[in-house]
Every structure is written in C-alpha cells, then in structure tokens.
Structure 1
Amino acid sequence: MTTRLRFAMQCLALACAALIAMSAFAQQNAAPAATPLPAWDQLTPAQRETLIAPVRDRWNDADAEHRQRTMDHAQRWATMSPEERQAARKGMHRWSNMSPEQRDHARELYDRMRSMPPDQRRALKEKWRAMTPEQKKAWLEANPPKP
C-alpha cells in the first residue's frame, strides 16, 4: 500500500469517526421532541374553554356590524382551499408587518383597483406580477395615495 493511499484511508477513518461522534453528541443534546397536542375531541372541557374564551369575549364586545363581518369571514374561510388559506395567511402576515403609512397606501391602491373596469384591473394585475421589485417601487412612488 502506498503512502498516499494509507494517508487517504486514515483521513477517511478520522472523518467517519468525527461524524459518528458528532451524531452521538447531537442525539444526546437534542431537545426533547415536543409532545403532540391532542385533537379537539381529546381536549378537556377546561382546555376548550381556555381556547374559546377570548373569541367569545371579542364577539360579545363587538357591535352588530363587526359580528356580521366576522361571520362572513368565517364562512368565506370555510370555503377556501388549503392553497387559498395559505395565501390569505401570507397576506395577513404581510399586512401586520406594514407601517400605518404603508397600510394607508395599500388601502388607497385597493380602492383604486376596485373602481377600475375589470379588464383594466386584470391588465394592471398582470403588469404588476411581471414587474421587478424596483419597478414596483417606482410605480408606487409614481402613484402615491391621495391625501
């Protein structure tokens, strides 16, 4: 066996030993797996009450208009596909991370879009999807919200 081959085999053996040691260390120090939470039917009445109470309180404190919007939203959510729900969650997350000025701007753009004829709105949506982030920023600056 040549010196080079012997050296390569020693390096391989050391690498394997290091991987085995790291794997054992990782298994010993791994965080315990989270206990899976039970299905709704398996929750205790007290656990169910803890989850429902905030929703009940918001419902009872809301006026009739807010209750109707909440009910409409829940019914619409129930008819969504998993992909549509994921897109909605993404939009809600994006909205919650906006500044008040960005939200005002988004509301203005939404109102403008709603007032457009359907063909014009569709064309703008297609154009928007094709824009780069820089082009979108430029378009937003060229179309500021009304004061």
Structure 2
Amino acid sequence: MSPRPFLLALLLAAAPLAAMAQSPAPLPAWEQLTPAQRELLLAPVRERWNNSSPEKRRHLLEHAERWRTMTPEQRSHARHGMKRWQDMPPEKREQARALFEHIRPLPEAERKAMLERWKAMTPEQRKAWVEAHPAKDPPRSR
C-alpha cells in the first residue's frame, strides 16, 4: 500500500470530475453535487473502509485528520512525495524504508549527517547498508 492510500483513493475517485475542473466555471460545492457525483467520490472510500481492519480504520481516520489540517503547500508537497513513491522501483523503496526507520529516532544533526553519508554512498554501498540495516516494517501490499 502506498504511504497515503486513503488520499490516493479519494484523488482517484475524483478523476471523473476532472472534466468539470477543465471548464472556466468554478467547481460546485458538495451540496451542489448530484447524488451520483457524491456516490462516485465516496464509493472507493466506503469500500476501502469496509474492507479494512479496525487498526487500519483508525489509521485512515488519523490520516484524514492530518490531511485536513495541512496547508495547501503541505498538501502539494505530500502529493509530490506520493508520486515519487509510486514511481520508485521496489529496490529504492526498500532502501528508503530502511533509511527512514534508521534515521527517524535520531536527533536532527545526526539525521542530517546520515543523509549526507547516504548521498555519498555508491549503489553497492547502499545495498550493503540496507542488508545490514533492514527495515523492520514489512513492505505494504497494494
């Protein structure tokens, strides 16, 4: 699963409404959408919710709340990160998971130093580092 599956599902569900966004008229408020348009937007989220475990549902709610409180700039940055993650080859994702898990608990100065060391590593050195420091969090399935 991508890092932000709830948002991705919501964004993908909105794709059929993209034609409306192409027109110069402003998009309607939620209340002005037809029942069919509302259902089109909500169906993927409802299906994902119903198919999720209680733990996953809690994660979806927490994620939605974080998204709601983000500024437009933060949302844009998050969308860019989601796109980068989706386009990343599996080996690079594994490296990113391992590196993130390793540096997350470190103080900021140590995190920056580790990132600089990482950038200076060759692909072979990075592979060896990941083998020595594998991510504990297993890759999520789509």
TM-based fold match above 0.5: yes
Q: Kindly indicate whether structure 1 or structure 2 has the higher relative contact order, using CA contacts under 8 Å at least 6 residues apart.
A: 2
Structure 1: 5+ residue runs without aligned partners? 1-32, 129-134
CA distance in 1, matches of 2:93, 2:65: 25
Match of residue 53 from structure 1: 43
**Mapping 1:1-147, distance limit 5 Å:** 34-35=22-23, 36=25, 37-124=27-114, 127=116, 136=119, 138-139=120-121, 141=123, 142-144=125-127, 145-146=130-131
CA 1:85 to 1:34, structure 2 compared with 1: closer, same or farther past 3 Å?
closer
What TM-score does the superposition give when structure 1 sets the normalisation length?
0.62
CA distance in 1, matches of 2:93, 2:112: 22
CA 1:81 to 1:124, structure 2 compared with 1: closer, same or farther past 3 Å?
farther
> The residue matched to 1:71 in structure 2 has which SS?
helix
Deviations 1:96-119 (A, max 9, x none): 001111111110110111243343
Q: Report the residue type matching 2:126 in the other structure.
A: N
Query: Which stretches of structure 1, 4 residues or longer, exceed 2 Å deviation after superposition?
Result: 33-39, 115-119, 122-125, 138-144
Count of aligned pairs between the two proteins: 107
> The residue matched to 1:143 in structure 2 has which SS?
helix
What RMSD, in angstroms, separates the aligned Cα atoms of the two structures? 2.4
What TM-score does the superposition give when structure 2 sets the normalisation length?
0.64
CA distance in 1, matches of 2:122, 2:29: 46
CA distance in 2, matches of 1:67, 1:94: 25
Identity %: 49
Structure 2: 5+ residue runs without aligned partners? 1-20, 135-142
> The residue matched to 1:58 in structure 2 has which SS?
helix
CA 1:60 to 1:106, structure 2 compared with 1: closer, same or farther past 3 Å?
same
